[in-house]
Amino acid sequence: MINKKELFAILSTTLVLATVISLLETWTIFFITAGIVLAVILINVIAKKIMGYMFQAEVEVSLWEFKRMIYYNPIKKTMHGHKPHHQMRNKFPAGFFMPLIIKFLSVGLINWMACLTFDVKATVHRAARKWEVFQYSQVTEQEMAWIAFMGIIANIFFAIIGYMINAPLFAKLNLTYAFFSSIPLGTLDGTKMYFGRRGLWVTAMVITSMGVVASMVIA
């Protein structure tokens, strides 16, 4: 279900987030935090893969990267970034550096957790049913939005379970992960929901925002 490339991205992201969250803490706290972060990420990833399977599509997660510069034209109200000269020469591994940058700029107050993105491709079986030939068919933006939304809902669901079993850190990290993933930035889940199905994005942002605020009040 999870290939080597995905496993590397998940484990490296886990180490980065655990380092940022447990900064200046003991090694014991670091390893506990790393285990919880890994569980949070796997919950999100597995939920997406299950939803992708329901759409007869393959979901593959990867490290979040900035691949191109995008410019907004206020006159035409369009996004530009598909021309060769808009392409960045080197991909910037935002998934690695964004948590560190935000931690530094916020003076340690904010733990950015959105580090992974995902791609989807239709399976041969799906293509055969749709076109009656064995070639890949395109996965719609609406389907990608639902896949991203399912990952968010899974984290929220387990956050509720976390509070019920008196595991506040597990609950809080699920909510935080869901919240930052819902932000429509780059190729994060929030972008896929925003452009694929706006209602899902609004729902995700409202629920996760309320959850994060509630977790701060409860804590």
Domain ranges in the chain?
Answer: 4-218
**Dist CA 160 CA 172 (whole Å):** 9
Percent of the chain clearing pLDDT 90 (strictly above): 63
Residue 157 has pLDDT above 90, yes or no: yes
Q: Which two tokens stand for residue 72?
A: 């907004």
**Dist CA 129 CA 133 (whole Å):** 8
* 130 or 114, which is more confident: 114
Report residue 94's pLDDT band, with 50, 70 and 90 as the boundaries.
confident
- E strand or H helix at 80, and its extent? strand 78-80
Return the bridge partners of 100, or none. Answer: none
Contact 181, 152 (CB under 8 A): yes
Residue 112 has pLDDT above 70, yes or no: yes
pLDDT for 89 equals: 53
pLDDT for 95 equals: 86
Contact 120, 52 (CB under 8 A): yes
Contact 119, 157 (CB under 8 A): no
